[in-house]
Structure 1
Amino acid sequence: MGRFLSLSKPSTKLPLYACSSMAVALTSTFSPRPFFQFPRFKRNPSSLLNSIAPFSVSSQLSNATAEGGSFSGRVGFLGLGIMGTPMALNLIKAGCDVTVWNRTKSKCDQLINQGAKYQASPADVASSCDVTFAMLADPQSAVDIACGVNGAVKGMGPGKGYVDVSTVDGATSKSISESIKETGALFLEAPVSGSKKPAEDGQLIFLTAGDASLYETVAPLLNIMGKSKFYLGEVGNGAAMKLVVNMIMGSMMASFSEGLLLSEKVGLDPNVLVEVVSQGAISAPMFSLKGPSMVQGKYPTAFPLKHQQKDLRLALGLAESVSQPIPMAAAANELYKAAKSHGFSDQDFSAVVEALKANL
């Protein structure tokens, strides 16, 4: 996959990240010349990364990226679900000029009340904004919103950028990228690691790939919505990294579910198991956060189970493309499919434990 850069956000949001009209780092950004043109990035992003040592940030990225910078343009946001709504809201709270769209218009109301503008289609959003973000539920939705009737592509053109933060497979991401680039616009894939609470707290992790100049331009926006960001080179690498991460997460949750039920079956208190696990080498925030509610049979949705199963399915396809066996993930995928069949699709992915309770 090549080398990558990790840029971490300071622990405290400073006014430097605000998207106000007083921003100075990109004051010439929106001149008649396409604002994403940075001469130093004429090379392919992947060749750029292969030519530098890891973490040599300041010599390769502008001060705006390395130090936080500012963004003074208009930001579009498509898709206002569990993740998209808090992400867009954080941009609004930071002072950004945000325009939103969602298939169900009522989901836009909260953001409109907070100061967002509204447009009637993805094409209208893209046409009226300098950078457009998209957070969709699955590959088909991502393609439809970008390339379908009244899709964002119809509003794109030179001087604009499209940032897809959805979790999709690499082929889908590359297809969307090609359609966006045909208009003269730039494309960046930036799937996120993190669920509802990190999205609300601005603590997401962005796994980006694509146009390096667009990455540099939107870095201040990523800093508002997340705690860190990785640039991974060519389009498809961000999608692959996200699928690997979610493959591990889904398998971990399936194994944890087995442990909770086994402890209870042999007469142990599963709450004590959660505490023991939280203090050992296999401690993970996910176990401490999800465990207590799982013991109670409650699954408040932070990451829908149907999306976790979708990501496992896509990870299996990724593994198949390189002939890599992933038997643990394959078994976990079957467990999530069983949980879906029992009606837990829209509950949190921790509801996978219910498939085991059904003795499947």
Structure 2
Amino acid sequence: MIPEQKIGCIGLGHLGHTIARHLIDLGVPLTVWNRTASKAGDLGVPVATSPRDLIGHADIVIINLFDSDAVEGVLSGTEGLFSGSCSGKIIIDTTTNHFGRVGAFYAHAREHGCTYLECPVLGSVVPASQGKLTVLVSGDEAAYKSVKPLLSRIGSTLFYLGEPGLATKMKLVNNLVLGSFMATCAEAVALGEAAGVPRGEVIDILLAGAGNSMVLAAKKDKLKNGEFSAHFSSALIYKDLHYLQDLCRTLRKPLLVGSTVKEVFALARSKGIDDLDFSAIYEVFREF
């Protein structure tokens, strides 16, 4: 338990809902808010009427949203967090943001008397359900130390990077590897199958050989069964790689592999399957 602290959660998509469920199972008292209120129906905890309402009931607010536009709306919208009673509160933002937007989130939080922490997470629904995410943290060190017990219930590995912006930038770099591995594994499975090896056997051979990775191990059942309900969607990795392209432009660095991988996931978008798990990119390769 986190003594004497009231926790709020905003954003009940696949990952946000799983984080909230895990905390509830650990006995952490939560109040939640989601744009679609029905997504909170199975949690059995109080549901706020707005972000403004929620921060009146919480000392710490965990945000997990799709992108920086959504974060901006939750923070600064008409009924946003900053329109409520924010003084002394801490906002933990686990969203994968655009690196160019987080500076304003820090500044606006200070203007409203609260503290903003960047806390993007590595991992998806399965490790989130076990409290085994990896959490990257930037922002005020004292605030980080005060919420570290809570973060340790979300993630088994924490990295404190200090300087604002670094956690977000490192998350984008991590997702270059994530997206590239997934695209390569999916293409390899499709090629092996086309060559005449049964799909399941292709996957087992890859896991015993050069394809052995956390990514393929996590997605092997989805690929074997053709069941692509979203844990981490193609829409999210496409967004993250777009943000990474922007980062590389500011660094005056080329993004050679990542730009190609981004366009692979653009094919999922063009086929209308970008709301499925990003392992569904296999279906794109299979159709070539």
- The share of aligned pairs that are identical, in percent, is 32
Deviation (angstroms), 1:296: 4.0
Name the structure 2 match of 1:338: 267
Q: Distance in 2 between matches of 1:290 and 1:206?
A: 21
Q: Give 1:82's match in structure 2, choosing from 6, 10, 14.
A: 14
> Could you tell me which of 149, 165, 179 is aligned with 1:220?
149
Structure with a larger share of its residues in helix? 2
Please give the per-residue CA displacement for 1:63-89, whole angstroms capped at 9, x wherever unaligned. xxxxxxxx4211111111111112112
Map of 1:260-339 to 2, 5 A cutoff? 260-280=189-209, 282-339=211-268
The one-letter amino acid of 1:332's match is V
Unaligned 5+ runs, structure 2: none
Deviation, structure 1 residue 94: 2.3
State the TM-score, normalizing by the size of structure 2.
0.95
Cα distance per residue 1:272-306 (max 9 Å; x no partner): 23222222354112212323432443312111111
Do the aligned residues in 2 keep the contact of 1:275 with 1:288 (CA within 8 Å)?
no
2:139 aligned partner: 210
Which contiguous aligned blocks of 4+ residues in structure 1 show a shift greater than 6 angstroms?
none
Q: State the 1:271 CA deviation.
A: 2.3
- Which digits, 9 at most, give the CA deviation of each residue in 1:330-350, with x for residues without a partner? 111111001111111111001
Shift of 1:202: 1.1
> Do the aligned partners of 2:119 and 2:136 also contact (CA within 8 Å) in 1?
yes
Distance 1:188 1:109, change over 3 A: same
The one of 92, 96, 100 aligned to 2:32: 100
CA distance in 2, matches of 1:296, 1:129: 42
Cα contact 2:181–2:215 (8 A) shared by 1: no
How many residues were matched structurally? 288
Deviations 1:192-248 (A, max 9, x none): 111111111111111110111111111111111111111011221111111111111
Q: 2: CA distance between counterparts of 1:216 and 1:122?
A: 25
- The alignment's TM-score, normalised by the length of structure 1, stands at 0.76
In structure 2, distance between residues paired with 1:227 and 1:294: 27
Larger Rg computed on CA atoms: 1
Query: In structure 2, do the counterparts of structure 1 residues 143 and 225 end up closer, same or farther at CA, with 3 Å as the change threshold?
Result: same
Root-mean-square deviation (Å): 1.5
Residue 358 of structure 1 deviates from its aligned partner by 3.2
Partners in 2 of 1:340 and 1:357 — Cα distance? 16
Change (3 A) 1:293 1:162: closer
